Amino acid sequence: MRAADLIDEAFLAYNGGRLREAARLLTERMLPKDGFIGMSLTGALTPAGLGKSCLIPWMKAGFVDWIVSTGANLYHDLHYGLDLSLHQGSPFLDDVELHRSGVIRIYDVIFDYNVLLDTDAFVRSVVQGPEFQRPLGTDEFHYLLGKYVDARAKALNLKDTSVLATAYRYGIPIFTSSPGDSSIGMNVAAMSLRDHQMSFDINRDVNQTAAIVYEAKSSGHTSSVFILGGGSPKNFMLQTEPQIQEVMGIQEKGHDYFLQCTDARPDTGGLSGATPAEAVSWGKVDPETLPDCVVAYVDSTVSLPLLTAYCLSRSPKRKHKRLYDRRDELMDKIREAYLNVGTVSKITTSRKVAKRSSSVGLKKKQKS
């Protein structure tokens, strides 16, 4: 039985039923009509091999247009692009003995400590390049880093091993919401002590992600979010709508479709477990499409392979939007919309002040 048939015919209730709803939401609502899809990545997905097995096929098929990821996922993705070895292990190994032997463990994934050192050396070598000696949005930083990973992979005769290299080839912007919270950021910080001029332009990231969503909605497309896990990347992806509506004052209704695969509970009050219904109250999700939003309480290492197989089986490949190539254009559009809102606001305020002034003057004359 094909994986897609298994989901349609056997995943009938409970969390299995929610996963089937997720699969159909993707193929019937999110992917059709060239809708914009953002994906957020939380948890150690790339060390588990999900970059090569799922994320890269997803990207090659044109099923994702922009990504927000933890820095850790991108750092560990570099191991694959540099042909460094990770191994299947066990969660029950003696960690004291592993430390003595120079072995790192991520639950049941193990690798040599030198993998970290070699990856660190690669990052430090790359960021010394002249194109890095200035403030960069994380999307531009990852694009440039992906270019070097792609070149290294070609030199090593590797194919489709790195998410960063694949994003570079297809013009898929990748942001990270906390660039200092990973080994990539740690290496960049260390290089700043050697008077290297690179820094992360967080303001650009906030406005650039909002510009992508604004482009989707203003051009008549849907804007969908596919959230794996939760955490900071989830919020960074969803806050695009409050940035557009609340902060910039641009009229909008929220993301059209929301899909999350998580093991986080909503009753603890954490953002990771916050439901799409709660997101509606913030303006993050369009209330009119709330019935189509899905939360599947399934671990990403289980849900992502199944959903990837389902979408590749049920949906045609899509043309790549190459949003990275349009980053300046999209930024100019949202800047213009924001400045126009400010101009209208000033005109409206001036008219109200003038009206109040004339009314006060009239009252004074009547009194006199």
Question: What is the rounded distance in angstroms from the CA atom of residue 329 to the CA atom of residue 327?
Answer: 6
Is pLDDT above 70 for 323?
A: yes
Is pLDDT above 90 for 273?
A: no
| 28 C-beta neighbours (distance < 10 Å), count | 12
Architecture of domain 3-326 in this structure: 3-Layer(aba) Sandwich (3.40)
- Residues facing 226 on adjacent strands: 39, 259
Each residue's pLDDT tens digit, 242-268: 999 999 999 999 999 999 999 888 888
Confidence of residue 295 (pLDDT cuts 50, 70, 90): very high
Catalytic residue positions, numbered: 284
The residue ranking higher by pLDDT, 274 or 4, is 4
Question: Which whole number is the average pLDDT over 158-168?
Answer: 96
| Mean pLDDT, all residues of the chain | 92
Choose from 288-292, 301-305, 359-363 the range with maximum mean pLDDT: 301-305
To which residue do tokens 């089937």 refer?
Answer: 20
Residue 62's pLDDT is 98
Question: Which whole number is the average pLDDT over 50-73?
Answer: 97
pTM value is: 0.90
Question: Which whole number is the average pLDDT over 26-35?
Answer: 97
Residue 366's pLDDT is 61
Is pLDDT above 50 for 208?
A: yes
Question: Which whole number is the average pLDDT over 89-110?
Answer: 97
Is pLDDT above 90 for 2?
A: yes
Residue 279's pLDDT is 87
Dihedral of CA 89/90/94/95: which sign?
positive
CB 318 within 8 A of CB 34: yes
Question: Which whole number is the average pLDDT over 208-220?
Answer: 97
Phi, psi values for residue 109, rounded to 5°: -110, 130
Instruction: Name every residue whose Cβ is closer than 8 Å to that of residue 20 and which is 6 or more positions away in sequence.
Output: 7, 8, 11, 12
Share of the chain above pLDDT 90, in %: 84
Vertex 140 angle, CA 134 and 146, to 5°: 115
Residue 195's pLDDT is 87
Confidence of residue 348 (pLDDT cuts 50, 70, 90): very low
Question: Which whole number is the average pLDDT over 83-97?
Answer: 96
Is pLDDT above 70 for 274?
A: yes
Extents of the domains making up the chain: 3-326
Is pLDDT above 80 for 64?
A: yes
